[in-house]
Amino acid sequence: MNELRKDYLLDRWVIIAKDRGKRPTDFIQKPRVEKPKVCFFCPGNEHMTPPEIDRVEENGKWIIRCFPNKFPAATTEFGEIEENFLVKQPAYGKHEVIAETPNHNEHLNELSVGHIVRILDMYSSRINEIKRDEKIRYVMIFKNQGSAAGASLDHSHTQVIGLPMVPRLVKEETEAAMRYREEKGNCPFCDIHSYEAKRERLILEDDYTISFAPFASRFPFEVWIMPKRHVRFLDDLNDEEKHSFAKMLKKILRKLHFSLNKPPYNFWFHQSPDDGDLHLHLELAPRLAKFAGMELGSEIVINVVPPELAAQHYREK
């Protein structure tokens, strides 16, 4: 029987269409291989990107590199909000790219855990630096892997964008978490991961980190990864937690990569706004289904892979 399911916190619903009965193998696609004539992110082409902001080196060569986005969504021009019938302001912010590896054909899941830890450190460093601008209210870390997920280049990279406002979704999640805490006395995400650790949606866990398919998954094979300890920011993770998080991310991405034939995916971090108390977590969304009229018109997503089946698939791979 198909089910309507509500998000843990948000007033956001999905239809889990069990009756459509798609199997994991139904989603396997043949990835398109498009090798560019010139990759801006490869070693030797550093002059083709905007001036470098930061790098991590080994043996005198960069292994992680950060620079401004050549085609930024944000602008350096700041202006006040204009409110008449319509509301607008300049899209002020900072928009950067982090090239995760110098090797063009190397995916994030193929990097060592230690290398991924250094990427997480770069995320934290850029977040802290961007937040020094008092006009920035939130910094978003996100990754687009594959053209169907919005990536314009194959070379593995992450994007960092600082915004003059807190995104609506993050704001609503933070406010819902505050209401839950006032009512229950606990962090909702601490309760969520404790609950899911005992359910069939659990994928992996260790002493510090847990991953599971969320109850009201919007995407086939969606995964959430979160530290067990209540932390607000990436920078709050200690060395053991950071290593655990990197190891968990690598494992999940490897399972996704090999079991579904390198599917496109997005992931993003939800950190707390500075004036809130949101439990840090990463949301991973494989892009295996398209949003159609129902999803676009109602924001009610139809997901044909129940999260219980998705979690079983990950556990068995």
- CATH code of the domain containing 142: 3.30.428.10
Q: How many folded domains does the chain comprise?
A: 1
Contact partners, residue 17, CB within 8 Å, separation at least 6: 2, 302, 303, 304
Residue 28 within any structural domain of the chain: no
* Amino acid making up residue 148: A
The share of the chain scoring above pLDDT 90, in percent, equals 86
Residue 131 within any structural domain of the chain: yes
Averaged pLDDT score across all residues of the chain: 94
For 142, the domain range is 3-23+40-316
Tokens standing for residue 185: 């006395």
Cα(222)–Cα(56) distance, integer angstroms: 31
Active site residues: 157
What does the pLDDT look like over 239-287, one tens digit per residue?
999 999 999 999 999 999 999 999 999 999 999 999 999 999 999 999 9
Residue 29 within any structural domain of the chain: no
Residue 30 within any structural domain of the chain: no
Residue 31 within any structural domain of the chain: no
In contact, 229 and 291? CB cutoff 8 Å:
no
End-to-end CA separation in angstroms for the chain: 27
What does the pLDDT look like over 5-31, one tens digit per residue?
999 999 999 999 987 656 565 566 665
Please state whether the predicted TM-score (pTM) of the whole model is above 0.75.
Answer: yes
Residue 34 within any structural domain of the chain: no
What does the pLDDT look like over 129-167, one tens digit per residue?
999 999 999 999 999 999 999 998 999 999 999 999 999
